[in-house]
């Protein structure tokens, strides 16, 4: 199980999101946890907040404006060069740095089911980003 660092407004910065390697977000009406934003940074740590319904453990609602300012990609019509977008179905979205694409897809395995990727992406992302720090997969 992946430990998540629960973000409060004072933690949500461009500097933190600038270190993002994988970013997941769910629309307010998405299946799963609507309003969730998860990010895996270059050090393999996973961060979480919810801008719509509040943090699932603490109930703390992150300011959506701060998240959008720290990570404008979440509202972009197009993603910057060097990022790969996957739609995980039912309002759930994932972008990640293209350098991870081959290994990410290999670890994810063959599946046409976006629900499979929805369940697996975070663990894979933490493993890949942790590998960069010298941790094996």
pLDDT, tens digit, for every residue of 34-88? 999 999 999 999 999 999 999 988 899 999 999 999 999 999 889 999 999 999 9
Taking the C-alpha atoms of 114, 116, 118 and 120 in order, what is their torsion angle to the nearest 10 degrees? -140
Would you say 11 and 99 are in contact if contact means Cβ atoms under 8 Å apart? no
CA distance 62 to 54: 7
pLDDT digits (tens, 9 = 90+) for 9-42: 999 999 999 999 999 999 999 999 999 999 999 9
Exposed e or buried b per residue across 48-63, where buried means at least 16 C-beta atoms within 10 angstroms of its C-beta: bbbbbeebeeeeeebe
């Amino acid at each position: 199980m992946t430990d998540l660092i629960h973000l409060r407004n004072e933690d949500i910065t461009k500097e933190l999101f600038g270190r993002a390697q994988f970013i997941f977000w769910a629309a307010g009406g998405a299946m799963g946890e609507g309003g969730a934003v998860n990010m895996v940074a270059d050090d393999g740590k996973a961060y979480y907040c919810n801008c719509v319904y509040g943090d699932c453990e603490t109930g703390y609602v992150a300011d959506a404006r701060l998240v959008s300012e720290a990570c404008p990609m979440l509202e972009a019509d197009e993603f910057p060069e060097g990022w790969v977008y996957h739609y995980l179905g039912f309002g759930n979205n994932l972008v990640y740095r293209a350098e991870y694409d081959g290994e990410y897809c290999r670890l994810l395995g063959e599946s046409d089911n976006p629900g499979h990727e929805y369940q697996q992406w975070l663990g894979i992302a933490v493993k890949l980003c942790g590998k960069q720090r010298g941790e094996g997969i």
